[in-house]
A and B are shown apart, each in its own frame.
Chain A
């Protein structure tokens, strides 16, 4: 195997444009990080609500929450991206649809955040539901017996405990978000995978390009892992293993 390594192409100016290929790579990294963080925040917020709703007794809350989870879990992410990008704007009122398609700032990015956020929220919801289910029922009953309303019991007793239980699975979900953000290339978000494909076509430095991009994904996943581990350590309740 005699491969002719050449990393200097990274500093070359891009064909007929400004900046170097390294700039493209860093811009790609920026979009990947921004997309992952935004989608993760959305997924946590939605997942928390949906996951909680699934554990309630009220049927009018439980059923739609269950439907939500099934809907977003049983369609491939790539297909969901296409649905959000090509189909959803056609279902909106005409003027709003047109605005979404033409004038919405950073439209591919916003679409990708919604898609990835909703997709991941179903997974977060399932983790939370099983986290709540794993708590001894006595905790909830005790809270209610102390005179708390159901909402208070969730707010002060159940959720704080359940969230700690689900932190480890949430860590891997966060890393999944970063990995899944790569699928956004399909709707034209200029994240790392998109840049890799574009760079390989223009520079013919395929191996270097893919090594660089893969390493950046590694670093992102590792950083996410460490960040979640830090949160886990800080939120530990003394005397519990979890």
Chain B
């Protein structure tokens, strides 16, 4: 029986069909929508102590799912969660595994060639986390030292660019995901971890001794973070855009922000206490989906 099932799966997998560019039709046919989620992108998208996906962007996505249900007239539409990583999120969206990615993905020009983004729902500042005791306060102090970052992230490219421009030489060490990279900092495998500030603060918050760490140094980049979907799918993009803009207009997004950034959150009830930045405040008034390049013009 199982073998038969597997054979059928093989046959289905091998039966060639074009990649669906119409997400709504695909979702309707399947009776299910697949959300891409992260394991440790605090507090945007991560797994709680019951290993269930939660977070600010996961909630935004759930509002989108509601809108899809309404539009398709399928109140029973199922939601599937697909864990994604920094290295596979884009391939998984383009190959059709994930319909909507609810993680912490930077919207930039290179990625826009492959995927599309919803209006920006979070703006992050790329900085570094260090151990308080190390006395490090700036990037220049990292010359010749091991610096952690997560593979597949824009931080990798930012560090490359910074090295080239300033002539510093980091010894890069790569974590598979953010928790891995933080572990490198925690276990002294790296003296700094360069990443989006919200992720750093979230990781510090869940660490054993939060007081041992701090986020310091110059901002390497300001990056718009948004939900990610397939390119060239105007119907789905319009639905996602309208939903997100509606949340901004009604003030609901601000409430969601307060709930995840300014209040105790799982897994251990800590509070990030991180007020909304100026960029995001502006965006709530005038939403857009501009890429990072628009924020970092020199």
Contact = CB atoms under 8 A, between A and B. Distances in A.
A189 to B, nearest CB: 10
Interface stretch (A13-21, A53-61, A129-137): A13-21
B187 A204 contact: no
Interface of A: 1, 14-18, 86, 89-90, 98, 101-102, 108, 186, 188, 190, 194, 197-198, 200-202, 204, 206
B217 interface: no
A62 to B, nearest CB: 37
Contact of A16 (B113, B114, B151, B161): B161
Given A16-B157, A108-B173, A204 B16 contact: no
B188 to A, nearest CB: 5
Contacts of B174: 188, 190
A152 to B, nearest CB: 48
Interface centre among A89, A188, A198 (most CB of B within 10 A): A188
Contacts of A190: 174
A18 B157 CA distance: 11
Interface in B142-182: 146, 151-152, 157-158, 160-161, 164, 173-176
B110 A15 contact: yes
B91 A200 contact: yes
B137 interface: no
Q: Place the interface of chain B in its size category.
A: 20 to 34
Given A16-B158, A101-B187, A206-B91, 9 more contacts: A15-B160, A86-B187, A90-B187, A188-B174, A190-B174, A197-B88, A201-B86, A201-B91, A201-B152
Interface string B191-213: 10000000000000000000000
Interface of B: 16, 86-88, 90-91, 94-95, 110, 113-114, 146, 151-152, 157-158, 160-161, 164, 173-176, 183, 187-191
Q: List the 4 shortest-distance A-B pairs measured between CB atoms, nearest first.
A: A16-B157, A16-B161, A17-B160, A101-B189
Interface of A is mostly: helix
Contact of A186 (B114, B164, B176, B190): B176
Nearest to A189: B174
B296 to A, nearest CB: 12
Contact of A198 (B151, B161, B189): B151
B157 A201 contact: no
B164 A197 contact: no
A16 B160 contact: yes
A63 to B, nearest CB: 34
A197 B152 contact: yes
A211 to B, nearest CB: 15
Contacts of B176: 186, 188
Contact of B88 (A14, A90, A201): A201
Contacts of A14: 160
Contacts of A198: 87, 151-152
Given A16-B160, A188-B175, A86 B183 contact: yes
Contacts of A101: 187-189
